[in-house]
Amino acid sequence: MKSTKRILIADHHPVIRKGISCMLRKTEQFDIVGKAQNMDELNQALEDCAPDILIMELELPQLNGVSTLRYIKNEYPKLRILIFSHLAEEIYALRCIKTGAAGYLPKSASPKAFLKALKQLAKGGIYLNDDLNASFSPRSVGESSAINRYKKLSTREIEVLNMLSSGKRNKDIAEALDINEKTVSTYKTRLLTKLKVDNIADLINQARLFRLG
């Protein structure tokens, strides 16, 4: 008999939390043990509920994206994390896997794909969409394209870029990432070079384009 996996859902949209709950209620393999709509609630639920699997939106209130994912994995190394997000899969998926997630699924995925991903995690596997490799192929994404340049950024560079696109100042970014302002300026210079743009305004516009993807 298969053991039941304890599931924690972290998403700021009530419809998403309710929808996942209804879908999993029909299975015997999964048991919803908690829900969270922001980082404070997520921290408390992780401590109180001892889940086996966390289904998490990458952009929760109070949550700093990939860096928070890294923090959660450091605190709960045995926790299996499925990122279920509106953020562009071709940009974030592999980076999340490298940071400690066990799977990445876009919110445009079908219920069948969602359950397939969850079952893969429950078995101890890693889940990525079958189409992901094609989206990273030079045939479909030319070497000169913006998305190809974006995916070559480091995790820290993406964190800085996302904060810039959210209107954060150098001082705010430095405090959030525990680095000095001079280092933030260095990252901004690298981003301008790597993404082949001439100024911060263009850099921010490009970052927002990706976030909406």
More confident residue, 121 or 154: 121
Helix (H) or strand (E) holding 193: helix 181-194
Domains of the chain: 5-135 (3.40.50.2300), 146-211 (1.10.10.10)
Q: State the Rg of the chain over Cα.
A: 18
Asked if pLDDT for residue 126 goes beyond 60, the answer is: yes
Average pLDDT over residues 32-51: 94
More confident residue, 98 or 123: 123
| pLDDT value for 207 | 66
Are 41 and 11 in contact by the 8 Å Cβ rule? The answer is no
| pLDDT value for 137 | 44
| pLDDT value for 149 | 73
More confident residue, 175 or 97: 175
More confident residue, 34 or 69: 34
- Packing angle between helix 200-211 and helix 181-194, nearest 10 degrees? 80
Are 146 and 195 in contact by the 8 Å Cβ rule? The answer is yes
Q: Please report where in the chains the tokens 């896997």 appear, as a residue.
A: 97
| pLDDT value for 144 | 43
Average pLDDT over residues 126-154: 59
Average pLDDT over residues 63-69: 79
